[in-house]
Amino acid sequence: MDLIPRIRSHFKDSAQTKLDAAETLVTPIARASECIAASLSNQGKVLACGNGGSAADAQHFAAELVGRFERERRGLAAIALTTDTSILTAVANDYSYGAVFARQVSALGKAGDVLLAISTSGNSPSIVEAIRAAQGDGIRVVALTGRGGGKVGSLLMDSDVHLCVPSERTPRIQEIHLLAIHCLCDAIDCLLLGASE
């Protein structure tokens, strides 16, 4: 079996999906960046969550803010809600897996914070419940989804920001989510530190 054409098609499909996504996502990414930067400037924080690969993306985003992206600056307040196994397993065991992020949002979040909620399908119950908890506590939501946005898309309010990747394929959606996270990090730094080359 010649794998070369198959592998080449992944590169081409990924590149085309990125070009397509640029048409629809640049404005909401800018809006999301402004939302997060405003929260951080006012002593707020970002809570990030997702499942599986999206959990890794939530942790990646928090690491870039607490550490640094490309420019030296103070650490920014971001917490990945995907990392504390004691909390995750206690809540999943005592309540349900659907509550693992919502309980943390309610415990750690406050009005003025931002929830970065990542779900490739837009239908993850734990992400849906986290968004409901955030909205109930006056926490704005930046949601990263694909496949039309699913249940997440229908929950979002005008004050929230939806970054919905125009694709049905999980790997392509996840690739754009990572690019969107890098764009967010760069834009947040620009807003907080000023533009640089």
pLDDT for the residue 88: 98
Is residue 72 pLDDT above 90, yes or no? yes
pLDDT for the residue 53: 97
pLDDT (average), residues 9-33: 97
Q: Which residues contact 15 (CB under 8 A, 6 or more apart)?
A: none
Number of residues written out for the chain: 197
Looking at the whole model, is its pTM more than 0.75? yes
The answer to the question of residue 119 being in a domain is yes
The answer to the question of residue 79 being in a domain is yes
Question: Is 141:158 a contact under the CB 8 Å cutoff?
Answer: no
Query: Domain count of the chain?
Result: 1
Q: Could you tell me the CATH number of the domain that includes residue 112?
A: 3.40.50.10490
Give tens-digit pLDDT for 130-159: 999 999 999 999 999 999 999 999 999 999
The answer to the question of residue 9 being in a domain is no
